[in-house]
Amino acid sequence: MSATLRLWIALAAIALSAQAFAQPAPKWPPAHAPAQAPAEADGANVDLAYGAYQRGQYLTALSEASKRAQQNDPAAMTLLGELYAQGLGVPRDDAKAADWYKLAAGKGDRNAMFALAMFNLEGRAGPKNPDEAAHWLSDAAKLGHPAAEYDLGLLYLQGQQFPRDDARAAELFRAAAAAGNPEAQYALATMYKDGRGVEKDLNKAMQYMGLASLAGNLDAMVEYAIAEFNGTGGVTKNEAGAAQLLLKAANRGNAIAQNRLARILMAGRGMPANAAEAIKWHIISKAEGASDPELDLFASQQPQNVRDTAKKEAQKWLSTAAPRS
């Protein structure tokens, strides 16, 4: 199944989840919010709070943010919400986090609005409420929050909280893409590729695909590498560059990239032929659900020692591979 088709199936089938946008390491601004300029955090105490947060000094961050929150600083209120939401320096308390987020959102903080949308989607501090989440996403998007623009675009594609509107979704994806959101860049690339919500334009599709690929979007990396290998969609043909991009995507666990890399190593195009490595990646991609009879035949024709080496290396990779994204 193509990455494009997977995207549209996912957009039609999933209920938007806050966890889909979570990042592993705590940082400020929060993982679910885009970076903001320090100028938004007025005053030395808020700067101290942010610095303490980034260094993992959460008690200090709590103390300094509390001082500024008493002076009605919305950015400090959002930081306090994040500390309670993550349980950093204080016991996790979703109700307190939501209270701080609501105070900050009421003062126009777009990060707090987005956090409240995620809380409503996830059912934290109350029942799940997609309609309320859509309200907060809309408010945050109006203030230029890239992740909110992207998520709101998904809602317009799903046609549940809002009437389905592919053109409006594309407009929101374009705004988020311009702010550097790689998921929005990939979604917009796919819309240009399929002519949904925008006029079909393969060159624009590949331009956005390239941006998303550079930013590390896994599906975009694979699609752009394939276009680069074949020299299609206005992308300059570069088999060596495509092979390296597929190698990165393969190491991140993408079965399509693993299969394409195996074929490259079998044929010796873009990188030197290497039967053991080709079979290794074929074994790994098969474990991920990507079958390939031609590679099966190739593997069966190799000497036993080559097959044994490939199997050993594949098992090592599979045993150590963590969930990748």
pLDDT digits (tens, 9 = 90+) for 224-249: 999 999 999 899 999 999 999 999 99
Coil, strand or helix at 6: helix
On whether the CB atoms of residues 21 and 107 are closer than 8 A, the answer is no
The single residue listed with the structure tokens 């675009």 is 153
Q: Which residues are within 8 A (CB) of 277 and not within 5 positions of it... i.e. 6 or more apart?
A: 265, 310, 313
Task: Give Cβ neighbours of residue 24 (< 8 Å, ≥ 6 apart).
Answer: 31
Among 143, 175, 203, residue at a domain's last position: 143
Q: Which residue has the tokens 């956090």?
A: 115
From 108, 143, 178, the end of a domain falls on: 143
Average pLDDT of every residue of the chain: 87
Is 194 inside any structural domain?
Answer: no
Residue 182 lies in a domain: no
98: its two tokens: 């939501």
Other Cβ atoms less than 10 A from the Cβ of 163: the count is 8
Answer yes or no: is 211 within a domain: no
User: CA 124, 129, 133 angle in degrees (round to 5)?
Assistant: 90
Q: Which two tokens stand for residue 189?
A: 């690339």
Is 247 contained in some domain?
yes
- Counting the structural domains of the chain, the total is 2
CB distance 60 to 48 below 8 Å: yes
CATH number of the CATH domain containing 19: 1.25.40.10
In-domain check, residue 215: no
Tell me which of 126 and 39 has the higher pLDDT: 126
Model confidence, pTM: 0.82
- pLDDT of residue 42 exceeding 60, the answer is no
One domain for residues 21 and 136: yes
- Claim to verify: residue 137 and residue 33 sit in the same structural domain: yes
Does 166 fall in a domain? no
212 found inside a domain: no
- Lowest mean pLDDT segment, chosen from 110-114, 152-156, 239-243, 320-324: 320-324
18 in the same domain as 130: yes
3 state SS for 23-91? CCCCCCCCCCCCCCCHHHCCCHHHHHHHHHHHCCCHHHHHHHHHHHHCCCCHHHHHHHHHHHHHCCCCC
- Structural domain contains residue 49: yes
Q: Rounded to whole angstroms, what are the CA distances from 128 to 54, 122, 287? A: 30, 6, 36
**Which of 143, 174, 196 delimits the end of a domain?**
143
Do 258 and 139 lie in one domain? The reply is no
Domain that holds residue 248: 238-320
Say if residue 24 is preceded by a cis peptide, omega within 30 of 0.
no
